[in-house]
Amino acid sequence: MMVWRKTQFCLNHPIMTDALNISFLGLGVMGSQMARHLGEAGHRLTVYNRTAARAQAWVEAHPGLASRTASSPAEAADGADVVITCVGNDDDLADVTLGTHGAFQTLRRGGIFIDHTTVSARIARQIAVEGRDKELLCVDAPVSGGQSGAEAGTLSIMCGGSEAAVEAARPILDAYAKRIVHVGRSGAGQTAKMANQMCLAGTLAGLSEAIRFAQNAHLDLDKLFEAISGGAAQSWQMDNRFHTMAADEFDFGFAIDWMRKDLGLALDEARGVGASLPITALIDQFYADVQALGGGRQDTSALIRRLPRRGKS
């Protein structure tokens, strides 16, 4: 398999992108696709998932892409040049990195650690501090683009960490990203992701009200979309979710349960930095309303469900 060759010299860390030993921890909706891209790029891939059956299913679905599966994060990191995580929350990330059987127990001195989980800036900073003694290059690298972006390899990644760490990680991230931005020091990637989620939630709240308003006013929604989608109101959400929201279709990936987790992280961080987020707090409660309607696993565009539609119960 042909592999793009490039050498990045970051201080005392020469990193070759040709056939690196990469261990990927967490094979959920996003992680499974990112791991696939790394395997297809020709890297020697080790995979780990807390539920071993999921790791085995991934290996069977992608024959030849993984050189091995691991039974623990520490086993996965043993011999790795790079460890990448995409797990659930702060506790999950702490367990797979800093726990008794965590990856930091065995990841070699000078190795690269990249985290794609959306977590608090606090845990990202803690992991970077813990990595210093082993001279690890740690990058908090949450992503935007959803399941479709992960599948297509067109994710946008916001990175926190030292310049050396982000530049070392960049050729690896290129396997599944169309945009990689170094936004600041450790934890800054996570803070940027919080801002991203605030923008997303606000856009969906406005779009939900606009669609319900138009339906209740008996507007032709196709004509409305034609009229407003090319102007200042245009957004990715309008282009991709306007018609599905109007049709009450909400099976498009990122779930409301996860959005509430992310907005909770933003609200916590805001209290720490002295920022006021009244709209974010309000929309978070709107999402709680949809959860109460049984929509926690529906995608975030289901926010429209809380708004009454004339002629419908």
Q: Which residues are catalytic?
A: 193
d(CA 178, CA 185) in angstroms, rounded, equals 21
Distance separating alpha carbons of residues 142 and 116, to the nearest angstrom: 4
Which residue shows structure tokens 């801002």?
A: 195
Q: CB-based contacts of 251: which residues, under 8 Å, 6+ apart?
A: 298, 299
Question: Which residue type is seen at 182?
Answer: H
* Distance from chain centroid for Cα 97: 18
What is the rounded CA–CA span in Å between residue 92 and residue 246? 37
With b for 16 or more beta-carbon neighbours within 10 A and e for fewer, the 210-219 pattern comes to bbbebbeeee
Beta-bridged to residue 13, according to DSSP, are 10
